[in-house]
């Protein structure tokens, strides 16, 4: 299960978690971004869900231990949170990507679409529409890619009832 490419992904995602989490902690931002690498690890290894969960959990645990030893001694107490993030990002990736696209479309329709009609000379409303459309398109591409990967995995898998010989 832990092949060399997967170990490299684990190390890179743990380094991403540690670096972003340390920067956020040191400049005292009121936001927690120390799980981006955990989610990215699960996305990169998505077709094999069990490996995605295990590798995401290992990368999160490594970054929590490293952050606990070097930056903030209270971070390792959030290990169960990291297990939950790895579990959801490993097993529910396709659902999460579909919900993200739906959220972005709804946000664009409810927030950004009426803005140019309220003040057509204010450029931020037009830029907000363009940015939301670009982000929605990128999220749609990721969602479609994950769906195709899942379909290809199930097409390659042998079906237990297809090869019956009487």
Task: Give residue limits of the domains in the chain.
Answer: 1-91, 93-158
The per-residue pLDDT for 157 is 62
User: Residue 88 is encoded by which pair of tokens?
Assistant: 């959801």
The per-residue pLDDT for 111 is 87
The model's pTM:
0.70
What is the mean pLDDT of each successive set of 10 residues along the chain, which is 166 residues long?
Answer: 92 94 89 87 86 94 95 92 91 85 90 88 88 91 86 69 49
User: Which contacts qualify for 48-51: CB closer than 8 Å, 24 or more apart?
Assistant: 49/90, 49/91, 49/93, 50/1, 50/90, 51/1, 51/6
- Cα 40 to its chain centre, rounded Å, is 5
The per-residue pLDDT for 83 is 94
The per-residue pLDDT for 162 is 54
Return d(Cα 16, Cα 81) in angstroms, integer: 18
């Amino acid at each position: 299960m832990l092949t060399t490419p997967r170990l490299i992904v684990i190390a890179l995602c743990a380094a991403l978690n540690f670096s972003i989490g340390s920067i956020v902690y040191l400049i005292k931002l009121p936001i927690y971004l120390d799980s981006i690498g955990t989610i990215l690890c699960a996305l990169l290894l998505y077709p094999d869900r069990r490996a995605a969960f295990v590798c995401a959990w290992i990368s999160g645990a490594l970054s929590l231990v490293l952050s606990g030893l070097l930056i903030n001694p209270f971070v390792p107490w959030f290990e169960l949170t990291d297990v939950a993030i790895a579990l959801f990002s490993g097993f529910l990736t396709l659902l999460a990507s579909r919900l993200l696209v739906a959220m972005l479309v709804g946000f664009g329709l409810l927030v950004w679409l009426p803005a140019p009609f309220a003040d057509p000379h204010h450029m931020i409303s037009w830029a907000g529409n363009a940015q939301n459309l670009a982000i929605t398109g990128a999220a749609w591409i990721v969602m479609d890619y994950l769906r195709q990967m899942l379909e290809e995995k199930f097409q390659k898998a042998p079906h237990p009832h297809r090869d019956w010989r009487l």
